[in-house]
Amino acid sequence: MRHSLRETWSGLKRNIAMTIAVVVTMSVSLALLGAGLLTSMEVDLTKRTLYDKITVQVFLCTPNTQGGRCEPGKGTSDAQRESIQQTLEANPEVSEVVYESKEVALAEFQRVFRDSPAVNSRTVDDMQDSFRVKLRNPENYAGVSSEARGLQGVQAVQDQNSILEPIFKWFGALQWATITMSVLLLVAAALQIVNTIRMAAFSRRREMGIMRLVGASNIYILLPFLLEALVAALIGIVIASATLTLGYWFVIDQNARTSIAALPWIGWGDLAAAIVSIAAVGVGLAIIPTLLATRRYLRI
């Protein structure tokens, strides 16, 4: 073991520039990969939380409304209202249908605009009654919305999913851009590790050949190179983990969690899971290229 540690230290000093390049590339790529994982966790958490609260609201006709499936100057009749409710409840994607009268709509309007001069600008006759529809799977809102728009007596259908979808698309684009950049940098780090180990193995090829002739095992010959790569990888993992922790603490814990309290935010446990993931990737990135780079010399 003493020989392996001595050879590892000697190899690190001999290839100090390449080792620094490997550490920098690996730390940046692992930090980007961790950021992509955290973004993915945040998107999933936000989707689960917000989608559970999302409903489709079906607004009914009044004598003053136009458009949709309304008859000019007429509101939705009782028969049409019952038909709409029965159709919505029969849809397998629907879990609950709640009728909201004009009085309820007015009370909600007054609650939302209680501090505004507009609070007294509406009366019961100005409001629309509606059905609030809760879905079994909120992501499958399109079919329910389309069916509701085709029912006689429906003036408009409002689904909050259409508001959230662009946000999630941007989140997804950011997530994949971050992961793609990290993968490219991880490939660059792997190639640098291969090049560094190959140069070290080539400079010690005669020594390795002699060790093979005297019966040294492959693991004994390979261990200094593995330790060399692992040291560089571990330093990169520590830097990447520290960067992720600092970024999480500053961006999410100290700012986003307080300034955007309406959204759910990932916790320290999610950060720990991301760090464990990038650590596993970093170790694998050190071991696999080293085995590939030295296999030629182990056959001597």
Question: Which sequence spans correspond to the domains of the chain?
Answer: 2-50+165-299, 55-159
Give pLDDT, residue 212: 58
Average pLDDT in the 208-214 region? 58
Mean pLDDT of all residues belonging to the chain = 80
Q: Check if the beta carbon of residue 131 is closer than 8 Å to that of residue 85.
A: yes
**Among 149-153, 247-251, 283-287, 293-297, where is mean pLDDT lowest?**
293-297
pLDDT at 176: 80
Average pLDDT over residues 4-17: 55
State yes or no: pLDDT of 287 exceeds 80.
yes
Residue 8 in this model has a pLDDT that exceeds 60: no
From 277, 287, 296, select the one nearest 190 (Cα to Cα).
Answer: 287
List pLDDT tens digits, range 222-276. Answer: 667 777 778 888 898 999 999 999 999 998 888 888 888 777 889 999 999 999 9
User: Between these two residues, 203 and 84, which has the higher pLDDT value?
Assistant: 84
Order the strands of the 154-159 sheet from edge to edge.
94-100, 130-135, 55-60, 154-159
Q: pLDDT at residue 68 above 90?
A: no
Q: Are 134 and 111 in contact (CB under 8 A)?
A: no
* Cα atoms in the Cβ-side hemisphere of radius 13 Å centred on 225: 30
Least confident of 95-99, 130-134, 169-173: 169-173
Segment 205-217 shows an average pLDDT of: 58
Among the ranges given (33-47, 177-191, 230-244, 276-290), the one the predictor scored with the smallest mean pLDDT: 177-191
Instruction: Give pLDDT, residue 108.
Output: 81
**Yes or no: is domain 55-159 CATH 3.30.70.3040?**
yes
For residue 300, pLDDT over 50 is answered with no
Q: Report the percent of the chain where pLDDT is more than 70.
A: 80
Give the model's pLDDT for residue 4: 47
In 61-142, beta strands by DSSP E = 94-100, 130-135
Write down the pTM of the prediction.
0.66
Q: State the angle between helix axes of 218-247 and 2-14 in degrees (0 to 180), rounded to the nearest 10.
A: 60
Query: What's residue 242's pLDDT?
Result: 96
Scored b (16 or more CB within 10 A) or e, 132-167 reads ebebeebeebeebbebbeebebbbbbebbbeebeee
Span 219-230, pLDDT tens digits: 656 667 777 778
Read out DSSP for 168-204?
HHHHHHHHHHHHHHHHHHHHHHHHHHHHHHHHHHHHT
The pLDDT, as a whole number, for residue 238 is 95
**pLDDT tens per residue, range 139-188:** 777 888 889 999 999 999 987 766 667 777 777 777 788 778 777 877 87
Question: Looking at the predicted structure, is the pLDDT value of residue 285 above 80?
Answer: yes
